[in-house]
């Protein structure tokens, strides 16, 4: 039973990767959004390097956060309208585990590329080189938290008209702690290096908490939504 | 008389704050099937969703082999297969991929390419294994959804309008698949407003249980 639970989780994971691959232009849109939003700032604020470097941590983090929020509206909606979500709920395996696999795949396809792409965009924001590792690390720790937390309102608003905007309204306030510590970590690394570890540890703590509770909450939200 | 495999007693369901039906009771023994009939909007789909645990009934007792399904929890999902009025397929995946993921997610850990091909062949889609579901007709998608039920061996079938979009030959093929399932000791509940010819099936008219109150 245990090994077949892992088999089921792997099937969910592989299925998501396949689906994303077959709709890769849509997925790429999230990354393009991230690139465009961050590119708008040097254009609007002006090419003053000091000024850009000052706002860079905040801009990069807000852009990553908005891109993740954008991707969340797509998380369950097609599975919901096509009826595959019904079938997922009828699996003999714990729904929490299957939801976890689904969210893991979603992060691998959105959060991970965002984090890996961020140094490139940080260059145009004139972020000091010494802050690059912290930027990537903060996004690697922070974006899974965004995906995990955001999945709960995404599940709750299924079947609600205009659910997409509602997800953003519900989820953005929940994102503030992650945003604050994420952006602060990068800013600290750009200034004096010693302070960043505290912020990163807090982000890691958020991640552990989210990993423990969000899939469970998301699974319950799905059961409520499909009732 | 041996104990019933699937029994429902005094079940009532609501949609929103409107009670749809009440006092629904029936029993199914091994090899028996029930044809649930009724006009649109009387809650046939709601009944089926309540029986498989996707919906929550107002009150009533649903038992599998004498045990309440609520106490069985996830174990109950290991005995049932549900075909909703939605097919539960993804257009981007091929027929074989759809069946394979269904099998794995529903506990068919030993499901390999051979099992998948055999299931597709039984619904007449052997040649379409590598075709994305988006390039299939409505009837073919319906048959693909049925192929998913065949890769997991479940004694309880809950079918919501399984004959929708099927041509005459496919209806006949599906009826014989259900017959085969019943011969193997399974039970089936079929919601359909379409008449079909299945020997020994009992009809259940939901109309008689409709509650007209708010």
Q: Which of B74, B88, B132 sits opposite A92 (nearest CB)?
A: B74
Of B54, B74, B104, the CB nearest to A226: B54
CA distance A6 to chain B (A): 10
What is d(CA B50, CA A153) in angstroms, rounded to the nearest whole number?
A: 24
Residue B171: the pLDDT is 92
What is the 8-class DSSP label of residue B152?
A: S
- Torsion (CA) A43, A46, A49, A53 in degrees, nearest 10: -60
Predicted local distance difference test score (pLDDT) of residue A101 = 97
Asked if the Cβ–Cβ distance from B86 to A98 is below 8 Å, we say no
Report the C-alpha gap between B142 and B68 in whole angstroms.
31
Q: Give the list of residues 6+ apart from residue A112 with CB closer than 8 angstroms, or none.
A: A140, A143
Q: In this complex, is the C-beta atom of B212 within 8 Å of any C-beta atom belonging to chain A?
A: no
pLDDT for A1: 52
Contact: B82, A90; criterion CB under 8 Å: yes
CA distance A220 to chain B (A): 12
- pLDDT value at position B214? 44
Q: Is A8 on the interface with B (CB under 8 A)?
A: yes
CB contact under 8 A, A227 and B77: no
Looking at residue A146, what is its pLDDT?
96
Beta strand B6-15 with B18-28: parallel, antiparallel or unpaired?
A: antiparallel
Provide the residue-wise pLDDT of chain B in tens; the chain has 214 residues: 568 899 999 999 988 888 899 889 999 999 999 999 988 888 899 999 999 989 889 999 999 998 999 888 888 999 999 999 899 999 999 999 999 999 999 987 777 888 999 999 999 999 999 999 999 999 999 999 999 999 998 999 999 999 988 999 999 999 999 999 999 999 999 999 888 888 888 988 888 888 765 4
Say which of B52, B87, B105 has its CB closest to residue A8: B105
**Tokens 């390999």, residue?**
B112
| pLDDT level of residue A96 (50, 70, 90 thresholds) | very high
User: How confident is the prediction for chain A on average, in pLDDT?
Assistant: 92
| Distances A204 to A90, A133, B11, B49, B104 between C-alpha atoms, Å | 33, 15, 48, 41, 33
Distance CA(B152)–CA(A87), nearest Å, equals: 13
Q: How far apart are CA B162 and CA A81, in angstroms?
A: 18
CB count within 10 Å of CB A188 equals 21
Are B74 and A88 inside 8 Å of each other by CB?
no
- The predicted-structure confidence for A64-90, as pLDDT tens digits, reads as follows 999 999 998 889 999 999 999 999 999
For residue B140, the model assigns a pLDDT of 93
ipTM of the complex model: 0.91
Look at B105 and A23 and tell me if their CB atoms are within 8 Å. Answer: no
Nearest chain A Cα distance for residue B53, angstroms:
8
Exposure of A207 in the CB half-sphere (CA atoms within 13 A):
18
All residues at 6 or more sequence positions from A19 whose CB lies less than 8 Å from its CB, including other chains: B90, B92, B93
A194: confidence class by pLDDT, cuts 50, 70, 90: low
For the ranges A85-99, A119-133, B188-202, which has the lowest average pLDDT? B188-202
Residues of B in Cβ contact (< 8 Å) with A88: 105
């Amino acid at each position: 039973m245990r090994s077949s639970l892992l088999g089921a989780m792997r099937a969910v994971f592989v299925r998501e990767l396949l689906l994303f691959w077959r709709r890769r232009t849509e997925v790429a849109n999230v990354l393009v959004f991230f690139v465009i939003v961050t590119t708008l700032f040097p254009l609007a604020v002006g090419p003053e390097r000091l000024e850009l470097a000052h706002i860079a941590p905040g801009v990069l983090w807000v852009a990553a956060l908005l891109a993740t929020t954008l991707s969340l509206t797509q998380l369950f909606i097609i599975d919901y309208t096509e009826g595959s979500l019904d079938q997922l709920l009828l699996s003999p395996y714990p729904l929490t585990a299957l939801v976890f696999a689904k969210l893991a795949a979603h992060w691998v396809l959105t959060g991970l590329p965002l984090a890996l792409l961020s140094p490139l965009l940080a260059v145009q924001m004139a972020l000091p080189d010494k802050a690059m590792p912290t930027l990537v690390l903060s996004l690697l720790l922070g974006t899974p938290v965004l995906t995990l937390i955001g999945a709960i309102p995404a599940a709750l608003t299924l079947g609600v008209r205009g659910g997409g905007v509602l997800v953003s309204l519900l989820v953005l306030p929940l994102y503030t702690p992650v945003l604050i510590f994420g952006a602060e970590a990068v800013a600290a690394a750009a200034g004096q290096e010693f302070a960043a570890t505290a912020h990163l540890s807090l982000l890691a703590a958020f991640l552990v908490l989210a990993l423990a509770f969000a899939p469970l909450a998301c699974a319950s939200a799905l059961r409520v939504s499909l009732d | 008389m041996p104990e019933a495999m699937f029994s429902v007693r005094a079940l009532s369901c609501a949609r929103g704050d409107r009670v749809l039906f009440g006092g629904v009771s029936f029993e199914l023994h091994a090899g028996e099937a029930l044809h649930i009939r009724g006009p649109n909007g009387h809650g046939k789909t709601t009944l089926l969703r309540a029986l498989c645990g996707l919906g929550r009934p107002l009150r009533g007792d649903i038992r599998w082999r004498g045990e309440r399904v609520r106490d069985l929890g996830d174990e109950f999902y290991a005995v049932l297969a549900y075909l909703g009025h939605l097919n539960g397929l993804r257009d981007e995946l091929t027929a074989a991929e759809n069946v394979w993921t269904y099998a794995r997610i529903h506990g068919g850990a030993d499901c390999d390419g051979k099992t998948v091909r055999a299931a597709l062949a039984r619904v007449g889609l052997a040649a379409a294994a590598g075709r994305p579901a988006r390039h299939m007709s409505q009837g073919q998608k319906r048959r693909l959804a049925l192929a998913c039920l065949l890769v997991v061996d479940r004694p309880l079938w809950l079918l919501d309008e399984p004959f929708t979009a099927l041509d005459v030959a496919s209806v006949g093929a599906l009826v014989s698949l259900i017959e085969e399932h019943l011969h193997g000791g399974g039970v089936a509940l079929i919601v359909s407003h379409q008449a079909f010819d299945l020997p020994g099936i009992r009809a259940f008219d939901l109309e008689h249980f409709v509650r007209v109150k708010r």
